[in-house]
Structure 1
């Protein structure tokens, strides 16, 4: 593991914090202490905490953890209502280490309206652009085609989570040619042509169909490395919500191998994350 590596997607949860009405599950206790104990097993000390959907726009659990870890080793991606957010609040969160807002178009079970999504992106971009925050997208790969024209023009950084949630069930010739993953051409085109898009290598176990959960992931990772290795960041997705008990270390080990083969280990595990999350 490169010195100074970052884990760019993980969550902290606790039953002590109130759930949103739309919460799909009840969390166990996954505290910052638990998180850092896990990180020690993969030799990482810097983390990006991402707001889980179960808390809606109440970022209290995440912000309390950021206060504890401090901005040297921690960054945060929050959720908020663009029609009800104060500039002072954003500045306070910025001081704690928040550098992004998460937009979840994947697990909300709401219809994807391209025009409405574009308007939402414009609204959030106008808010976060002055403070140079990232807009993180949890979105299906095939939905990217509706917004490929707007992402390069909004003047903010975007990050697509979890490989873009690929639909491997509909992957023709699985896993021999990752370019055949439905929607993958939209992602690789954006990575090649837009200088403001990043992708998280994370959450593979949610989508891969192979016995070890790696065959499709390997093909996709290598395609993305060949496309834009300076736009990829590693993330563990700990504590693997709804997949609790998963051992993610084999994935970490394979990511180290794949990136080493492409002379990209320092980039994917450290340098790209530092650039994306505004780390010293």
Structure 2
């Protein structure tokens, strides 16, 4: 580089410049300034090609709700979803079938057609005793990569043996396609089926941290997460390599506005199972529609610290492995 040329150096962070008051400036200084780094906005800190592994699109007017639906949501279109994801810098999404549509996956599948399999994946709800494998093959081409067993949203309770039987029936249907079974159930029920999970022969996904019962640790600034019923089972399954957990929906089980309890759970999960955690927003936060997901996302990034590999795994690579994303 010649003496007269100038090289531009980028530090990767925007800086805010302040001028010192006259009283603080030294007589020798012609220009007394100091620079303080600003925290970059979320789209600048979330890895390129990241995935939101759990969100919904709903349109009650165009796609009638199930007769068993327990609530009627406001419409949330794919365009609304894409506008929301842009605020986080996320362009790839996993559409999850909400309970309000029962076995009718039409709304999800139409949105998936519009997205295309390069940017979208889907998790559907099926009756494993009444499904045509040819239909599953068509859905696979659209980007479907999982089925959901949802007990929490519909208030369903199954015994351990009943749940095992349900999971095995689903696994038998989806195993040829390499799909995952995703469960939304209380964490304290996980020990009842822990021994069954390795027998499924498919990937297993736990929604929303497993929705743990935090009543025994409510109000405590610190606690041992292994004291929470089912947490030990979750960790053992994660370490075994077949199970993933979605880091999502903390408002569905925690009432702490400062997320102290969520922080303890998240820190432990990131520590013991960095290759099996996937980030998700749970947008549009049904029944919690006014939720601002940014503080939770900031917490995720904060607990990853300077470990760029962990950030990349949480927001991108683990999702790519789970949802069969080929780049």
2:303 is matched with which residue?
Answer: 258
Matched, 1:240 2:291: no
Q: Distance in 1 between matches of 2:227 and 2:219?
A: 7
Task: Give yes or no for contact 1:50–1:77 (8 Å, CA) kept in 2.
Answer: yes
Give how far 1:140 is off. 0.8
Q: Is the 8 A contact 1:172 1:181 kept in 2?
A: no
Q: CA separation in 1, counterparts of 2:325 and 2:157?
A: 36
Query: TM-score, normalised on structure 1?
Result: 0.96
Deviations 1:204-256 (A, max 9, x none): 011113233x1111100011111111000000000000011211111111111
Q: Superposition pairs for residues 6-155 of structure 1, below 5 Å? A: 6-15=51-60, 16-155=62-201
Matched length: 278
**Residue in structure 2 matched with residue 190 of structure 1 by the alignment:** 237
In structure 2, the partner of 1:156 is 202
Deviations 1:81-137 (A, max 9, x none): 001100110000000000000001222222221111111111111111110001001
Q: TM-score, normalised by structure 2?
A: 0.83
Structure 1 or 2, whichever has the larger Rg, is 2
Deviation at 1:158, TM superposition (A): 0.4
CA distance in 2, matches of 1:112, 1:179: 24
RMSD: 1.3
In 1, Cα distance between equivalents of 2:165 and 2:221: 36
CA distance in 2, matches of 1:111, 1:217: 25
User: Runs of 4 or more off by more than 4 Å in structure 1?
Assistant: none
Deviations 1:153-181 (A, max 9, x none): 22100000000001112237834122222
Contact 2:248/2:279 (CA < 8 Å) preserved in 1? Answer: yes
Which stretch shifts more, 169-178 or 81-90?
169-178
SS in 2 for 1:29: coil
Does the aligned pair in 2 maintain the 1:5–1:46 contact within 8 Å? yes
Whether contact under 8 Å (2:191, 2:233) holds in the other structure is yes
1:205 to 246, 251, 262: 251
Greater RCO, CA 8 A, separation 6+: 1
* Counterpart for residue 22 of structure 2: none
Structure 1 residue 261: deviation in Å? 5.0
* Matched residue SS, 1:246: coil
The CA distance in 2 between the partners of 1:44 and 1:228, in whole Å, is 23
Instruction: Structure 1: give runs of 5+ residues left out of the alignment.
Output: none
